[in-house]
A and B are shown apart, each in its own frame.
Chain A
Amino acid sequence: MEERYTLKKSNPALKVFIYILLVVWAFINLFPIYFMFTFSLKSNEEIFGKNVVGLPHEWRWSNYSSAMGTGNMGLYFFNSVLVTVFSIAISIMAAMMATYALTRIKWKWAEMTNAFFMLGLTIPLQASIVPVYVILSKLHWLNHYSTLIIPYSAFTLSMSILICTGFMVDIPYDLDEAARIDGCGLWGTFFRIIAPLLKPALSTIGIYAFLQCWNEFMFANVFISDSKHRTLPVGIKALSGAYTTDWGPIGAALVIATFPTLIIYIFLSRKIQDSFIAGAVKG
C-alpha cells in the first residue's frame, strides 16, 4: 500500500523522460566496462580501424597471454591478493581488540582514545609519506610486501574501528556479565563471546578495506620500485608504458585487474553497498 501513492501525480511524459535519463546514465556507466572488455580482445587493426566500438570480429585471447606472460599480470595479481589479505587481517584484528577495549571495558579515557583514532578518518595518506619513506629507505625496507601491508593496515584502521564500534555496541552487555560469572576474564570474553559475534562486521570491514587496498596507487607507486613486488595498479602503469602502441594487452590487463571485483560485486551488490554506507553514515 505504501508503494502506490508515489507516482500517482507525475505525468506520463515526465516519467518517460526520467526513464530515458536513467537509462542513458546507466549506459554511460556501463560503456567503459564494455569498451575495456571488447578492446582487450581485439587486434590493433580493429581498434584503430573500422571496428572501434563493436564486438571483436576475431576474439584474440592471445592478448591475455601476453598480459599474463611478458606483462607479468599474474604476478601482480598474486601480489595484490597477498598484500590485501594481510592488510585486512591485521587491520581487522587490531580494530576488534581496540574496539573491545574502547566500548566494553569502562575506563576514564575510553572516549578520548576513540576520538584520537577517529582523527585517522580525515588525515590524508600524504601526511606521513615523507617520513615513512625516509625511514623505510634507511632501514632498506622498501620493496617488500610488508612495506605496503603495514601502512595499509594503519590507514584502514580508523574506518575499521568506526564500523566495528557500530556492531559492538549492539551486542547486549548482559553477555559480558554472564561470561564473567562463568569465570571468563576480559580475554576469554573477547575471544570466546564477542569476537565470534562480530562475523557480520568482518565482511563489512573486509569489503571496505579490500577496495582501499586493492586499488591503492600512491603508496604503491612511491614505495615499490622493483617489478617483483608491484601490485596491480602499479603493474598496469608499468605495462602501459611498455605497450604504448599495442592496446590489446593493456585492455587485457585492465580486465584482469577489474573483473574479479566486478563479478563479486554482481553477486554481493547489496552487501557491498551496505558496507560503504556503514563506513560513511557516522563520518
Chain B
Amino acid sequence: MDVDISGARVLFTLPIDLPILGELAVSETIVVSWLVLLILTGLCLWLTHDLKVEKISKRQAVAEMLVELANNFVVGNMGEKFRYFVPFVAALFATGVCSNLISLFGLRSPTADLDTELAWAVIVFILITRQKIKTSGLGGYLLDFTKPIPILAPFNVLSEIATPIGMSFRHFGNILSGVVINTLLYGALALASSKLLGLIPGVVGAVLSQIPILDVGIPAILSFYFDWLSGLLQPLIFSMLTVMFIANAAEE
C-alpha cells in the first residue's frame, strides 16, 4: 500500500528562456488557479447581468447582499476613507474561498502550494508599506525602524518581514495539513478495509478486498473540518489581517 504525498505536479513546461528561472514550468497549481479565476469571472458575470432598479430578481438580491457584506466588512474595520479597498479585499476573499473549496471536486487546491499565498501576502505587504510611506513620508517610515531605541532596528526589520511570512504560512499550513491528513486517512482506511475483507475466505474475499469500502463516508467527517471550516475561515482571517494591517499603517 503506497501513500503518495507530493507537491503540485508539473503538467508541462513552456519553452521560454527566462533570465534566472529558466524554462517556465506550468504546474497543477497554475492550471487550477486559472479554473478558479474562470469560475469567479463566470459567477460575477452571471450575478451582475441584467440588473434592475425595481422588481429585482433573487439573483440580484444575492449579488447585492454579497456587495453589502463586503462593504460593511471593509468600511466597518477600516473607515469610510478606505472604501476603495472593497474590490481588492473582496477579490482576495473570493479567490481564497474558491481555491480552498475546489478541493471538494478532487482537484488539488492552489492554496496547498505556498506560492499562491506568498504572492497574495507580498501584494498585501506592498500595500501596507505604501500606506506607511503615504502617512509618514519616506523619512518617517525609515525613522520608524529606530523606535523605541535605535539598537532595536534589526528586530523591527525582522518583524516587518515576518508579517507576509506569517500571513502566508498560516493559510498554507491549514490547507496543506488538511491535504496530508486526508491522504493518510484514505490510505489507512483502504489498507484496513482490504485486510478486513481479505479475512473472508475464497473468491468473494479476494474480490471484495480490492474495494476500499471504509473510504466511503468516514473521511467526510474530517473533510467537514479541513475543507469547509478552515477553507472558509482562513480566507476570512487573511482578509481580516489585510484590513487591520493597512488600517493600522494609516493611523501612525
**A and B assemble together:** no
B residues sitting closer than 8 Å to A (CB atoms) are: none
